[in-house]
Amino acid sequence: MAKVAIMGYGTVGSGVYEIIKDNACRVAENAGEMMETKYILDIRDFDDHPEKHLFTKDVNDIINDDEVSVVAEVMGGLHPAYEFTKSLLLAGKSVVTSNKELVATYGTELLAIAEEKNVNYLFEASVGGGIPVIRPLSRCLAANNITRIAGILNGTTNYILYQMFTNNKSFETALSDAQAKGYAERNPAADIEGHDACRKIAILSSLASGVEVDCEKIATEGIVDITLDDVKCAEAAGGVIKLIGYAEFEDGKVYSHVAPMFIKNENMLSGINDVYNGILITGDAVGDVMFYGAGAGKLPTASAVVADMVDSVIHASRRKIIGWKKPEGDVFADAAAKKFRYLMRCELNSTITEPLTMAECDAMKEKLNAKSAIRVLD
Ligand code: HSE
């Protein structure tokens, strides 16, 4: 019997608890033994919960319990998730997480501790919710040099843009709907300003390159400036606008940004709608591979968390090697030299430019007196 703990009983944490209980036989078949939740850590009281005896407010109950081998950290946020995770790994417990902010910010250090302690630090749920993408990128595509990743990595913003495109809904109404459905982060600024997608592309880029790609250095724009005029202009130009986490890899360097991009209707990513995520990965041997599915929500995200718990039970004595190291020197390519085509919206019409650097784009925008300029995903 594997005894496990869940830290955080919010949307994802309650989903993890339910899957472990409701799919107990399936989980046991895969893990090779039954899995039982011994603790749930949360600062709130859950006096009406049928298993209220499982709840604790003291992380030391978990850290000091030798019976607990695997812990799911689904609290979100940096602190105290970082301190708790570090203590648990140092205590020789495997930790799995959906916390992209923590993985993108402290992942390098936590992965090194996990390696030193011969335990697992797994984070499949941190990118793409329920979509398997971390393992496929690390393992199934291991024979490739990854050349490009372009992903719709945030369900909330995809939902908002989809509502703006299909139902002419205002940004605010669509955001409230997404929050009510439990898609949005606690602070929706992380979604709409692009920070959540930035953390996710940083994680994917670090995995693809094998070295840490610092999320703080990725140029990040959200969707707050996208208007219904931009929506109409994109439709007229034969495409849609999606918030894209973008990375290109060449000669050991990474170019990366998060920004709304114009996507022609022929591109596979244009059909990723609602709260769904889609991640298009290009490898030099495999070509294009697309990952698609529910990128947010209680059970889809919990599905990936529990799968990592199962893997941690299976790999209790021989850890799974998924991660990256600290880079030697700067990994970022010169962003000022990078060129994209742009969809420029002028007063009465729009145009798609030749490939331009950012400075050339600014000059062209001024010359055309354009209201907006959105990079094209070619
Ligand atoms: N707020 C995130 C999203 C949750 O909307 O995609 C999943 O990471």
Residue pLDDT, tens place only, 231-261: 999 999 999 999 999 999 999 999 999 999 9
The least confident of 61-70, 178-187, 264-273, 308-317 is 178-187
CATH number for position 49 = 3.40.50.720
Per-residue model confidence as pLDDT tens digits over 95-146:
999 999 999 999 999 999 999 999 999 999 999 999 999 999 999 999 999 9
CATH number for position 247 = 3.30.360.10
Q: State how far the Cα of 111 lies from the Cα of 121, in Å rounded to an integer.
A: 6
Distance 101 CA to ligand 1 centre (A): 11
Residues spanned by the domain of 125: 2-130+297-314
Q: Is the pTM of this model over 0.85?
A: yes
Q: Are residues 204 and 229 in the same domain?
A: yes
pLDDT of residue 161: 97
Question: Is 327 among the domain residues?
Answer: no
Q: Are residues 145 and 91 in the same domain?
A: no
Among 72, 60, 75, 9, CA closest to 35: 72
Q: Are residues 24 and 121 in the same domain?
A: yes
Query: Is 200 annotated in the active site?
Result: yes
Question: Is 167 among the domain residues?
Answer: yes
Atom of ligand 1 nearest to the CA of 159: 5
Q: Are residues 78 and 193 in the same domain?
A: no
Q: Are residues 282 and 143 in the same domain?
A: yes
Local confidence band at 334 (pLDDT 50, 70, 90 cut-offs): very high
Q: Are residues 120 and 163 in the same domain?
A: no
pLDDT of residue 73: 98
Whether pLDDT at 12 is above 80: yes
Question: Is 213 among the domain residues?
Answer: yes
Distance 20 CA to ligand 1 centre (A): 22
Calculate the alpha carbon distances from 269 to 5, 192, 240, 258 in Å: 37, 19, 10, 15
Neighbour tally for 190: CB within 10 Å: 21
SS (H, E, C) the chain: CEEEEEECCCHHHHHHHHHHHHCHHHHHHHHCCCEEEEEEECCCCCCCCCCHHHEECCHHHHHCCCCEEEEEECCCCCCCHHHHHHHHHHCCCEEEECCHHHHHHHHHHHHHHHHHHCCCEECHHHCCCCCCCHHHHHHHCCCCCEEEEEEECCHHHHHHHHHHHHHCCCHHHHHHHHHHCCCCCCCCHHHHCCHHHHHHHHHHHHHHHCECCCHHHCEECCCCCCCHHHHHHHHHCCEEEEEEEEEEEECCEEEEEEEEEEEECCCHHHHCCCCEEEEEEEECCCEEEEEEEECCCHHHHHHHHHHHHHHHHHCCCCCCCCCCECCCCCCECCHHHCCECEEEECCCCEEECCCECHHHHHHHHHHHCCCEEEEECC
Q: State how far the Cα of 8 lies from the Cα of 221, in Å rounded to an integer.
A: 30
Question: Is 328 among the domain residues?
Answer: no
Q: Are residues 193 and 278 in the same domain?
A: yes
Q: Are residues 301 and 288 in the same domain?
A: no
Residues composing the chain:
378
Average pLDDT on 201-229 reads 97
Question: Is 45 among the domain residues?
Answer: yes
Mutate to test the pocket of ligand 1, among 102, 177, 185, 223 (most ligand atoms within 8 A of CB): 185
Q: Are residues 289 and 145 in the same domain?
A: yes
Among 257, 280, 146, CA closest to 209: 146
Q: Are residues 65 and 79 in the same domain?
A: yes
Distance 250 CA to ligand 1 centre (A): 29
Atom of ligand 1 nearest to the CA of 157: 5
Per-residue model confidence as pLDDT tens digits over 354-370:
999 999 999 999 999 99
Residue type, 270: S
Whether pLDDT at 318 is above 80: no
Mutate to test the pocket of ligand 1, among 156, 200, 223, 303 (most ligand atoms within 8 A of CB): 156
Atom of ligand 1 nearest to the CA of 178: 5
What the block records as the tokens of 294 is 């529910």
Mutate to test the pocket of ligand 1, among 99, 153, 154 (most ligand atoms within 8 A of CB): 154
Q: Are residues 200 and 252 in the same domain?
A: yes
Q: How wide is the angle at C-alpha 9 spanned by C-alphas 89 and 193, nearest 5°?
A: 85
Distance 139 CA to ligand 1 centre (A): 24
Question: Is 359 among the domain residues?
Answer: no
Per-residue model confidence as pLDDT tens digits over 165-214:
999 998 889 999 888 888 877 789 999 999 999 999 999 999 999 999 99
Strand-pairing partners, residue 375, are 261, 342
**Counted domains in the chain:** 2
Distance 156 CA to ligand 1 centre (A): 6
What is the residue with the minimal CA distance to atom 7 of ligand 1? 296
Pocket of ligand 1 (CB under 6 A): 129, 154-156, 183-185, 191, 196, 295-296
Distance 364 CA to ligand 1 centre (A): 35
What is the residue with the minimal CA distance to atom 8 of ligand 1? 296
Distance 141 CA to ligand 1 centre (A): 25
Atom of ligand 1 nearest to the CA of 184: 1
Q: State how far the Cα of 142 lies from the Cα of 131, in Å rounded to an integer.
A: 18
Atom of ligand 1 nearest to the CA of 158: 5
Percent of the chain at pLDDT above 70?
100
Percent of the chain at pLDDT above 90?
92
Catalytic residue, candidates 93, 200, 298, 320:
200
Atom of ligand 1 nearest to the CA of 126: 8
- In this structure, are residues 37 and 17 in contact, taking their beta carbons and an 8 Å threshold? yes
